[in-house]
């Protein structure tokens, strides 16, 4: 059978990521990997999970945990999230919260909710690869949100019309973003809001790393800034996406969306039609862990990742040639390096694997148009400080040889 003749046109946008395929090859034990942006399993609260699952199966919750449940999500977990959001400056109630299977699913649903083919999404340049993957299924056009140029709302609107649709949303990863590690300052957040108001579009705030701030002053979420302006989440256009993947464990696939009720109500229908609900068991386990131990768990991982960030920045300072620049993240998992113009991140990776046994991700993977060839992403989440120092030393030596 010629499957191409029955596949819908959207599938032509769904290609295997070269980067993801490459990352599968990097599990060899002698490689120092700064590639995958994934948590260190040593920091998973395993004892808490063991206790949570044991309690569920020895309590009267076991029937509930194994049964179908509502698409909105487990109410005690949604209640807990609503309280956390109030602490972040977003007073809301349980009906403003939807549980998703990781924040990746929230991005998929937001593509499904908003994008008709040829509509425009405003995104960072570079941006989170998984957002591009999720949105691509709905066949959007992309335009640059960040870095900001001098374009006005009507410039954006005209470009979208020329592309055959309308601007639907601005997507921004706000804190210690994947891939750059950079944080949008308050002025940038206010500017995104003002642009969204002018265009009358949604703002998708990706806050996957929000809890992982090591130092510096926390900046209110875009949604909190908008609530402060407009008085009520129901008047807000910002859709906040959070996750427990970076703080507890990603293998559970539990994330959430916080937004005005008409958005949540429609997303509940998308959830019902696409997988009925996030596993009941996983939601109950997460709620049992966060209600008592979230602050301690976050403090524990911030201490470890913060020390690794320090080690990576110190090593970069000591080892990199003068013509290499890098970001200085205040949290998260990533540092972004800008190499001299004539260097290519993908070619450098091939060399680095061959001669240095050090892995990272070439930066062009994170640009919707494949630009950014002279950049690379380093993750400091998985290696200890001594390994980070050694890996950066090798990378610096390679760059001095090739630069």
Q: How many residues does the chain have?
A: 403
> Does position 332 bind a second copy by CB under 8 A?
no
Residues numbered 150-169 forming contacts with a second copy, rule: CB under 8 A: 168-169
Strand order, beta sheet including 202-206: 97-100, 255-258, 238-243, 202-206, 167-173, 120-124, 141-146
**Should residue 298 be labelled a site residue for a second copy when binding is judged by CB under 8 A?**
no
228 is a contact residue toward a second copy (CB under 8 A): no
Q: Which stretch binds a second copy (CB under 8 A): 45-53, 153-161, 322-330, 369-377?
A: 45-53
Distance CA(399)–CA(45), nearest Å, equals 38
The pattern of x and - marking residues 110 through 129 that bind a second copy according to CB under 8 A reads --xxxxx--x----------
User: How many whole angstroms separate alpha carbon 362 and alpha carbon 359?
Assistant: 10
Closest CA to 283 of 262, 264, 255: 255
Q: Site for a second copy (CB under 8 A): which residue of 243, 280, 327, 381? A: 280
What does the alpha-carbon distance between residue 403 and residue 396 come to, in Å, rounded to a whole number?
10
Stretch that binds a second copy, among 48-56, 292-300, 328-336, 351-359 (CB under 8 A): 48-56
Q: Give the residue, chosen from 152, 154, 158, 274, that forms a contact with a second copy under the rule CB under 8 A.
A: 274
Q: Which stretch binds a second copy (CB under 8 A): 97-105, 177-185, 351-359, 370-378?
A: 97-105
**Closer CB to a second copy, residue 17 or residue 351?**
17
Binding flag, residue 21, a second copy (CB under 8 A): no
Helices 280-319 and 75-87 pack at an angle, to 10 degrees, of 40
Q: Which of 25, 187, 273, 318 binds a second copy (CB under 8 A)?
A: 273
Q: E strands within 91-216?
A: 97-100, 120-124, 141-146, 167-173, 202-206
* Least spacing, CB of residue 330 vs a second copy, in Å: 24
Q: Do residues 59 and 84 make contact, with C-beta atoms less than 8 angstroms apart?
A: no
Q: Using H for helix, E for strand and C for coil, what is the string for 32-83?
A: EECCCCCCCHHHCCHHHHHHHHHHHHHCCCHHHHHCCCCCCCCHHHHHHHHH
Q: How far is the CB of 16 from a second copy (least distance, A)?
A: 6
Residue partners of 318: CB distance under 8 A and separation at least 6: 392, 393, 396
Nearer to a second copy, 170 or 337 (CB): 170
| Span near a second copy by CB under 8 A; candidates 100-108, 153-161, 313-321, 351-359 | 100-108
Residue 355 binds a second copy, judged by CB under 8 A: no
60 lies in the binding site for a second copy (CB under 8 A)? no
């Amino acid at each position: 059978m010629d499957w191409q003749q029955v596949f819908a046109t959207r599938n032509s946008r769904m290609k295997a990521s070269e980067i993801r395929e490459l990352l599968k090859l990097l599990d060899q034990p002698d490689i120092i990997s700064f590639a995958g942006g994934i948590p260190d399993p040593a920091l998973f609260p395993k004892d808490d999970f063991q206790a949570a699952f044991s309690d569920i199966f020895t309590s009267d919750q076991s029937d509930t945990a194994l049964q179908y449940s509502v698409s909105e999500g487990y109410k005690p977990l949604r209640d807990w999230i609503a309280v956390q959001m109030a602490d972040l400056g977003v007073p809301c109630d349980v009906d403003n919260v939807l549980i998703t299977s990781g924040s990746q699913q929230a991005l998929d649903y937001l593509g499904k909710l908003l994008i008709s083919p040829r509509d425009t999404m405003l995104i960072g340049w570079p941006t989170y690869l998984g957002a591009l993957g999720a949105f691509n299924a709905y066949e959007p056009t992309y335009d640059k949100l960040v870095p900001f140029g001098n374009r006005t709302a009507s410039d954006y609107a005209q470009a979208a019309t020329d592309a055959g649709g309308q601007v639907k949303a601005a997507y921004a990863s706000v804190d210690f973003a994947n891939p750059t590690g950079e944080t949008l300052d308050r002025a940038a957040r206010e500017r995104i809001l003002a642009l969204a108001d002018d265009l009358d579009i949604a703002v998708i705030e990706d806050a996957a790393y929000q809890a992982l701030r090591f130092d510096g002053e926390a900046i209110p979420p875009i949604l909190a800034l908008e609530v402060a302006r407009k008085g009520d989440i129901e008047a807000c256009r910002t859709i906040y996406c959070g996750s427990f993947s970076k703080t507890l464990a990603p293998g559970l696939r539990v994330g959430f969306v916080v937004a005005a009720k008409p958005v949540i109500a429609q997303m509940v229908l998308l959830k019902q039609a696409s997988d009925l609900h996030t596993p009941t068991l996983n939601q109950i386990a997460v709620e049992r862990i966060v209600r008592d131990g979230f602050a301690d768990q976050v403090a524990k991982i911030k201490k470890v990742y913060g020390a690794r960030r320090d080690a990576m920045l110190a090593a970069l300072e000591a080892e990199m040639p003068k013509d290499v620049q890098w970001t200085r993240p205040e949290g998260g998992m990533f540092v972004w390096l800008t190499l001299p113009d004539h260097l290519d991140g993908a070619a450098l990776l091939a060399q680095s694997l061959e001669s240095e046994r050090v892995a990272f991700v070439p930066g062009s993977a994170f640009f919707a148009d494949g630009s950014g060839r002279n950049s690379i992403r380093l993750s400091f989440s998985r290696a200890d400080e001594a390994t980070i120092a050694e890996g950066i030393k090798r990378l610096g030596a390679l760059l001095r040889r090739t630069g």
